[in-house]
A and B are shown apart, each in its own frame.
Chain A
């Protein structure tokens, strides 16, 4: 069964649910369903049982409460009634099949917390990736809840629908670390995979089980009285025995009896029967309904939720409204969710579905098709797609997706490549079932999008070509499909390094946008973000950095919502790469860290894109001669994706890896790495230039300056780093004049950062020293060293060679930096502590808790001791430590304390 909902009034904040606000939409980009966050209403015949409510009051004193029993045991109504009378805010979440994706589950749980005014939920952030949720988000949430004065009460109803074991694990983690800040109540048919024995042993579990939920004879008699039936004591006892006090059984028998001519006798006969209770009673109640009602009930059994209009669409009638209202009043089968949405009681819906298959065989697919058609005009897209898929109508389903302009969600939603298990929430998974012969250009677009997520560009382009032909024949209609087609062409062009094609396709997208209703575009900020990111990436590949920056900055500055988290992160890391290539390591590092922090905040799973961010950090680390750190970052970048799919990241990897190998003295390996080809439609000037730079440096290291100079002869026109490299090679080959000419042509300062200017100044200093002008040489070298120190650039100084030591060794003014670096170290050797401190870089302020941990770290306390001192768990301390390290840009505690002292944080 697939779920179906909703008109605007059933979702949160109609009108205000702007796409830009991450808070109003779940990670799939859909508005939160308000009905899932509301405490369910009780039926008119609800019987409050004080013994159960009294037991439930103990939930306020224990972190975990479990109410479990089979379908129809009366769990939900009990907790809902208790919660409503509590006079305290309760965060209520009804679990759903779509919660199999942890990101969706946590987004809903956080929304439930926000809905009942828990401010702590804001601090935790928003999961962006439906598939996974970042551990630090959970840690933030738990820590924030832990600090609360009064516990927040959280109810998760239908928890048995949450079958993904990692969600339970995560819930257990939050529960443990929230301490007294949270009371969790799980309403479930099956025991969750939490360590219940431990909670029981600690006395921190309140349990209400099926036996306790069962009705006693007195309660049963009272319940039947509410239905207008008076039963003798013996008859009541017999009925309880027959039904084992099962609430749904009692309710159904009351209904069946009410409708018979002799209720008392009817119940007596029922007692004597031997049929399975629910089955028999449901059939009894069903057959007493008018034919129209029976038909309607059978048909809506394919839906999780429905409103009268949707039910009408399925049954081909006009009178579903009064029928449903009547059924609800009679407390038969349907429950009211509010806003005139209903659902079948879960127990009955399963049995009714069985009846549907018997009585109206073959109708199921047609009903799904009708539901999909109705939902397409006024319901949320995922439900439409789910029903379309269940009906097996792929042409329709693909068209519904494309017409909604949702094709971008293949790239911003969960990624098929990194999925650990199939998810219902995953577009890729949904469409993986698509029939291979499904026709229509939209189905082709879907296939192309899936091929692109698999990085199979050839297959994607074949599909796109056919789709475009079919769409061109249908002009001027199908604007959304033509726009989607052009967007996918931009993405394909970005992946193949084809800037011309990207520009052309982007132009088409912008033209077609004029024909799309603005509100539809507003709902899909990911479209523009994806377009700008991949257009920018193609421009970057072509070396048009200014144009690339314009596009990437647009994408990076877009709405801060979850739906654009992936393109935003990719744009930020590409901007960082350009800063690095232009010689601004500090800016590059800040940019890459911003990209990674943003990715973390939205729980993007690696290697959704953080790969390039790590590559940039690795390259910066090489420039700073932090070679072990660089290796770690490189390993991280390539761990999940050894070969980046797009040429920009692939070239970045080649450059970073070759530079690291060169710095470690592995000249041959560096040359081999630099030779590895990056396949692309057009050549990239900077990729070629920077690769040539490494090759040239490798030849210099091997004592072949002529070869080194030759390698860079053409690349020198690329300006910046390449020109300086060429100058250095020329100088080494003895052509001082040629070297100075190259440096004289250096472009303006803005486009060349310290990594370039420091190297240029060192080459000038060396040339001056050779010419015998020691004073100029010393002045230039001192200036270069000062600039290098500010950016912590060690590598250019180390590269410069022994002449620098001779030059500065004669000069008493040279600081320890010059001395230390002038003494050549074995490549890759660990840095000695002390000496020159690099200019510190703080990206983020430490939180209060992180400060606490840091102070104890400075007192040489162990992790366990810190945990004990702060009354938190060891894991919490480790989480804080990790973010302290990240914020301070260090890897070890000793470094963290030193850096913190330098920054005056201690």
Chain B
């Protein structure tokens, strides 16, 4: 599964290191994290990680391989 997670605001390079398994790109006031997601547990873990870092998730969607 591949997902992309769109969060509000520009993430710093340092904070992006909290998602070492994902790539990220900053665009127009948002940061898009994207990459492979192993399973549901991983997916919910990513959401929890966003919450614990105070990130505001705007969109989360599965993208074709």
Residues of A within 8 A of B (CB): 70-72, 189-190, 244, 246, 248-249, 274-280, 283, 346-347, 350-351, 353-355, 357-358
B50 nearest in chain A by CB position:
A70
Instruction: Give the complex CA separation of A283 and B18 in angstroms.
Output: 14
Residues 1-28 of B at the A interface (beta carbon under 8 Å): 7-15, 17-18
Contacts of A278 in B (CB 8 A): 53-55
In the complex where A276-B11, A283-B12, A351-B15 touch, is A189 in contact with B51 (Cβ < 8 A)?
yes
Question: Nearest-CB distance from B59 to chain A (Å)?
Answer: 15
Q: Does B64 contact A (CB under 8 A)?
A: no
Instruction: Give the complex CA separation of A710 and B52 in angstroms.
Output: 77
In the complex where A274-B29, A276-B31, A277-B9 touch, is A347 in contact with B53 (Cβ < 8 A)?
yes
Most chain B Cβ neighbours within 10 Å, of A346, A354, A357:
A354
26 contacts between A and B (CB under 8 A): A71-B51, A71-B54, A274-B10, A274-B29, A275-B9, A275-B11, A275-B12, A276-B8, A276-B10, A276-B11, A276-B54, A277-B9, A278-B53, A279-B15, A280-B9, A347-B52, A350-B18, A350-B49, A350-B52, A351-B15, A351-B18, A351-B53, A354-B14, A354-B53, A357-B17, A358-B14
Which one of A274, A275, A279 lies within 8 Å of B53 (CB-CB)? A279
Q: Number of B residues whose C-beta is below 8 Å from A?
A: 21
Which one of A246, A248, A274, A276 lies within 8 Å of B15 (CB-CB)? A276
Residues 31-65 of B at the A interface (beta carbon under 8 Å): 31, 48-49, 51-56
Instruction: Give the complex CA separation of A346 and B52 in angstroms.
Output: 7
In the complex where A351-B15, A357-B17, A358-B17 touch, is A70 in contact with B10 (Cβ < 8 A)?
no
In the complex where A71-B52, A189-B51, A347-B54 touch, is A274 in contact with B14 (Cβ < 8 A)?
no
Q: Give 10 A-B pairs besides A274-B10, A278-B54, A347-B53 with Cβ atoms closer than 8 angstroms.
A: A71-B51, A71-B52, A72-B54, A249-B54, A275-B10, A279-B53, A346-B52, A350-B18, A350-B53, A354-B15
Contacts of A189 in B (CB 8 A): 51-52
Contacts of B18 in A (CB 8 A): 350-351, 353-354
- Per CB-CB distance, the 9 closest pairs between chain A and chain B, nearest first, are A278-B54, A276-B9, A354-B18, A279-B15, A275-B10, A350-B52, A274-B29, A358-B14, A274-B10
Contacts of A72 in B (CB 8 A): 54
Instruction: Give the complex CA separation of A274 and B11 in angstroms.
Output: 9
Q: B12 touching A279 by the CB < 8 A rule? A: yes
Contacts of A249 in B (CB 8 A): 54
Instruction: Give the complex CA separation of A895 and B52 in angstroms.
Output: 57
Contacts of A274 in B (CB 8 A): 9-10, 29
Interface of A, secondary structure class, is: helix
Contacts of B56 in A (CB 8 A): 244, 276
Instruction: Give the complex CA separation of A309 and B40 in angstroms.
Output: 41
B29 nearest in chain A by CB position:
A274
Which one of A248, A277, A347, A355 lies within 8 Å of B14 (CB-CB)? A355
Instruction: Give the complex CA separation of A275 and B31 in angstroms.
Output: 9
Contacts of B52 in A (CB 8 A): 71, 189, 346-347, 350
A276 nearest in chain B by CB position:
B9
Question: Nearest-CB distance from B26 to chain A (Å)?
Answer: 9
Question: Nearest-CB distance from B40 to chain A (Å)?
Answer: 14
Question: Nearest-CB distance from B46 to chain A (Å)?
Answer: 13
Instruction: Give the complex CA separation of A357 and B10 in angstroms.
Output: 20
Contacts of B10 in A (CB 8 A): 274-276, 280
Most chain B Cβ neighbours within 10 Å, of A279, A280, A351:
A279
In the complex where A274-B29, A276-B8, A276-B31 touch, is A283 in contact with B54 (Cβ < 8 A)?
no
Instruction: Give the complex CA separation of A72 and B14 in angstroms.
Output: 20
Question: Nearest-CB distance from A193 to chain B (Å)?
Answer: 13
Q: B54 touching A248 by the CB < 8 A rule? A: yes
Instruction: Give the complex CA separation of A190 and B55 in angstroms.
Output: 14
Contacts of A357 in B (CB 8 A): 17
Q: B9 touching A283 by the CB < 8 A rule? A: no
Contacts of B11 in A (CB 8 A): 275-276, 279
Instruction: Give the complex CA separation of A171 and B15 in angstroms.
Output: 36
Contacts of B55 in A (CB 8 A): 276, 278-279
Question: Nearest-CB distance from A96 to chain B (Å)?
Answer: 15
A249 nearest in chain B by CB position:
B54
Question: Nearest-CB distance from A472 to chain B (Å)?
Answer: 47
Instruction: Give the complex CA separation of A275 and B9 in angstroms.
Output: 5
B47 nearest in chain A by CB position:
A190
Instruction: Give the complex CA separation of A280 and B48 in angstroms.
Output: 20
Contacts of B51 in A (CB 8 A): 70-71, 189-190
In the complex where A72-B54, A351-B53 touch, is A283 in contact with B7 (Cβ < 8 A)?
no
Q: A279 touching B17 by the CB < 8 A rule? A: no
Contacts of B15 in A (CB 8 A): 276, 279, 351, 354
B16 nearest in chain A by CB position:
A354
Q: A279 touching B29 by the CB < 8 A rule? A: no
Instruction: Give the complex CA separation of A814 and B27 in angstroms.
Output: 100
Contacts of A355 in B (CB 8 A): 14
A283 nearest in chain B by CB position:
B12
Most chain A Cβ neighbours within 10 Å, of B12, B48, B49:
B12
In the complex where A283-B14, A350-B18, A358-B14 touch, is A70 in contact with B54 (Cβ < 8 A)?
yes
Contacts of A246 in B (CB 8 A): 54
A252 nearest in chain B by CB position:
B54
Instruction: Give the complex CA separation of A70 and B29 in angstroms.
Output: 21
Contacts of A71 in B (CB 8 A): 51-54
Question: Nearest-CB distance from A353 to chain B (Å)?
Answer: 8
B15 nearest in chain A by CB position:
A279
Instruction: Give the complex CA separation of A811 and B54 in angstroms.
Output: 91
Contacts of A275 in B (CB 8 A): 9-12
Instruction: Give the complex CA separation of A353 and B19 in angstroms.
Output: 12
Question: Nearest-CB distance from B50 to chain A (Å)?
Answer: 9
Question: Nearest-CB distance from A248 to chain B (Å)?
Answer: 7
Instruction: Give the complex CA separation of A357 and B54 in angstroms.
Output: 18
A242 nearest in chain B by CB position:
B9
Question: Nearest-CB distance from B25 to chain A (Å)?
Answer: 14
Instruction: Give the complex CA separation of A548 and B53 in angstroms.
Output: 59
Instruction: Give the complex CA separation of A277 and B14 in angstroms.
Output: 14
Question: Nearest-CB distance from B23 to chain A (Å)?
Answer: 16
Contacts of B7 in A (CB 8 A): 276
Contacts of A347 in B (CB 8 A): 52-54
Contacts of B17 in A (CB 8 A): 354, 357-358
Instruction: Give the complex CA separation of A532 and B62 in angstroms.
Output: 59
Question: Nearest-CB distance from B21 to chain A (Å)?
Answer: 13
Contacts of A353 in B (CB 8 A): 18
Contacts of A279 in B (CB 8 A): 9, 11-12, 14-15, 53-55
Instruction: Give the complex CA separation of A248 and B18 in angstroms.
Output: 20
Most chain A Cβ neighbours within 10 Å, of B29, B54, B56:
B54
Contacts of B48 in A (CB 8 A): 190
Question: Nearest-CB distance from A350 to chain B (Å)?
Answer: 5
Question: Nearest-CB distance from A460 to chain B (Å)?
Answer: 34
Contacts of B9 in A (CB 8 A): 274-277, 279-280
Question: Nearest-CB distance from B44 to chain A (Å)?
Answer: 10
Contacts of A70 in B (CB 8 A): 51, 54
Instruction: Give the complex CA separation of A278 and B18 in angstroms.
Output: 14
Contacts of B31 in A (CB 8 A): 276
In the complex where A283-B14, A350-B18, A354-B14 touch, is A277 in contact with B29 (Cβ < 8 A)?
no
B28 nearest in chain A by CB position:
A274
